[in-house]
Amino acid sequence: MMTEYNGVHSFLLEYIGKCKSGEIIVGRELVQMLDVLLTHFDNPDIQIDFEDAHKRIKFIETKCKHYEAPFAGKPFILELFQKAFIEAFYSFKIYDEEVGRWIRLYQDFLYLVGRKNGKTPLISAMDLAEFFCGPLGIKILCASNDYEQADLMFQAINAMREESPALDKVTRKNIKGIFFGNPKKRKAKGKFSYKNKGSIRKISAKTGAKEGRNIGVGSVDEVHELKDNSSIMPIRQALSTQDEPIYGELTTEGMVNDGYLDERLKDARKVLNGELDRPRWLIWLYTQDSEAEIWQDEKTWPKSNPGLGAIKKWSFLRQMIEEAKTSKATRAFVLSKDFNIKQNNAQAWLMPEDIINPEIFEIEEFRNCFAIGSVDLSKSGDLACARATLMKKGSQKKYTLQKYFIPASKLLTLSKDERAMYEDWIKQGLIEVSPGNENDFRLVTAWFVKLYKEYGIRFYKIGYDKWSATYWVKEMEEIGFDCVRVNQDFGSMSEPMKLVEADLKSNMINYNDNPIDKYCLENTALNINSKAEIMPVKVQGKENKKIDGAVTMIIGYKIYIDNRTEFLDLVGR
């Protein structure tokens, strides 16, 4: 396949040729876009002009330097796939009757790629190139879901600017952004003087007053975190006065259900399939053709990781795959972030075989022992749970005693089958019923007191969630119990939830074969954030089911992890 057009070497044509020959492995969705681009070369209504693209490529490779290890300080030499993308965006021109001249065909792009493939540095370098190579007075906006993420792109741009003496000499940075003109080396006039009112700024989805800006470039990072287009539309509207605006979205896949990226990808795939006409949108998706191929053939991994081997390490990805085989949280995170396979943000947490453990024990085995307590009081009109977690000297196995509580009125709202199930548990003494519409939390207190008085079980600390706990905590502390609040958020719940999962899989939790514990564990899903942190939620479609027992296990483990040394010392006495 030819790699030149009108005597000029084309990185795009070179890339397409290598993709078509199989030398470079790409997925079906990128091939669809490349096929569209090939038709442009034979379209009489489209002019091919590489000048703008090659000018920016040259700028990046000669003026920009990497700013993070292991490439810090080295020239930003673009990979072929990156050059092909830049060329695809800048090289095709159409005649615009309203503007009265030939202008760039593509105004928007969506760039989807696995993490650690140089996504943010590439778009940051393109923005910096546009700042210097674009029109006088161009204003560039770096945006994301939160200020920290938007700052990553902004700081990437600034780090490249500072690394280059030539760029640093004619620009300045302050808390508002990056601007032309250097106070130490002033130029009276010209593109690189104070008279050039161009700027690079940052903004987040949470920042107000986005309307009214007049920008030439809007780059939005990690759009998978956006719940809707409310923060996107003001940015796009701010581009409306430009003859050749640039609006770019760059991201990996995410776990926000029915979020902005879901809708954006639906439209993108309709465009690629010829079902929707968006001729000015460049859709550049590095995706796998199936999940099965990820596990079966690592040679397919470059489909979602084009920088594999040059930017991203094969060893890193192999390690992630091995961890994903044993951890549900890691699996969901790796599939979405490394391979762009969409994951539900409420993944089922455990397999049935992880939950089953028929082992039982007698409470007498723990007479006069220390325990960690935990409660999930939930809403006063619903199921609640209290738990004691115990250990034996020289063993990592955890043994748990549990008691559930429910108001009588709640039983009346259950279906016939559910009510029969709950009534059976009540007969077995697993659930204590409070009369009326609310749980009597004094019964929870009485359960902890009973374990102390009848079996000498002393509670080191008792973890509780925030729901309905204020008066109960006061009552417990007046008796002498030490109560510790455990927030039900990613930061608090992630590490203990992962340890509970690992211990359940290795039969290191003996919950006395309690059927309500089983029921709660089956209903528990894990919610995953962009940091691979997890927390418990209900499985989708089971919003009326209960997970209180699983939550108390996790809360108990949180207390254990935070106080492991001291608690194990008490256990060993």
pLDDT band at 94 (very low <50, low <70, confident <90, very high): very high
Domains of the chain, residue spans: 4-337, 352-571
Q: In whole angstroms, what is the distance from residue 206 CA to residue 559 CA?
A: 34
pLDDT grade for 234, boundaries at 50, 70 and 90: confident
pLDDT band per the 50, 70, 90 thresholds, residue 207: low
378 vs 464: CA distance, rounded Å: 10
pLDDT digit string, tens, across residues 323-361: 988 888 888 889 999 999 987 656 678 888 899 999 999
**Residue 163: what residue type?**
E
Percentage of the chain beyond pLDDT 90 is: 70
Task: Look at 373-382, 415-424, 544-553 and tell me which has the smallest mean pLDDT.
Answer: 373-382
pLDDT at 540: 65
- Say what the pLDDT of residue 423 is: 95
Where residue 458 falls among pLDDT bands split at 50, 70, 90? Answer: very high
Residue 43 has pLDDT above 70, yes or no: yes
Strand ranges, E, within 122-211: 139-144, 171-174, 177-180, 199-204
Q: Which CATH number fits domain 352-571: 3.30.70.2740, 3.80.30.20, 3.30.420.240, 3.40.640.10?
A: 3.30.420.240
pLDDT at 8: 94
Mean pLDDT along residues 378-385:
83
Chain segment 67-77, per-residue pLDDT in tens? 777 777 789 99
- Of the candidate ranges 236-245, 343-352, 433-442, the one whose mean pLDDT is the lowest: 343-352
CATH of 4-337, one of 3.40.50.300, 3.40.50.11540, 2.30.290.10, 3.30.1360.30: 3.40.50.300
3-state class of 47 per DSSP? Answer: strand
Instruction: Report the SS3 class of residue 5.
Output: strand
- Rounded to the nearest angstrom, the gap between the alpha carbon of residue 245 and the centroid of all alpha carbons in its chain is 29
Q: Are strands 101-104 and 92-96 parallel, antiparallel or unpaired?
A: antiparallel
User: Residue 209 has what pLDDT?
Assistant: 39
Query: What per-residue confidence (pLDDT) applies to 542?
Result: 64
Predicted TM-score of the model (pTM): 0.78
Which pLDDT belongs to residue 212? 45
- pLDDT score for 347: 66
Residue type, 311: I
CA distances 479 to 239, 390, 475, Å, are: 65, 21, 7
What per-residue confidence (pLDDT) applies to 208? 46
Determine contact, residues 349/525, Cβ cutoff 8 Å: yes
Q: How far is CA 235 from CA 175, 230, 231, 336, 502, in A?
A: 21, 10, 7, 27, 45
Domain 4-337 and domain 352-571 have a common topology: no
Tell me the pairing of strands 509-510 and 398-407.
parallel
Q: Which of 51-60, 73-82, 374-383, 539-548 has the highest mean pLDDT?
A: 51-60
Residues 489-526: tens digit of each pLDDT: 999 999 999 999 999 999 999 999 999 999 999 999 88
pLDDT tens digits, residue range 145-173? 777 777 888 998 999 999 888 899 999 99
Burial class (CB within 10 angstroms; exposed 0-12, middle 13-18, buried 19+) of 419: middle
Residue pointed to by tokens 């000499």: 169
Q: What is the pLDDT of residue 206?
A: 55
Q: What is the pLDDT of residue 531?
A: 81
Q: Is the pLDDT of residue 244 over 80?
A: yes
Please state, rounded to an integer, the average pLDDT across all residues of the chain. Answer: 91
Query: What local confidence, expressed as pLDDT, does residue 144 receive?
Result: 78
Mean pLDDT of 39-58: 97
Percentage of residues in the chain having pLDDT higher than 70: 96
Region 175-195 average pLDDT: 84
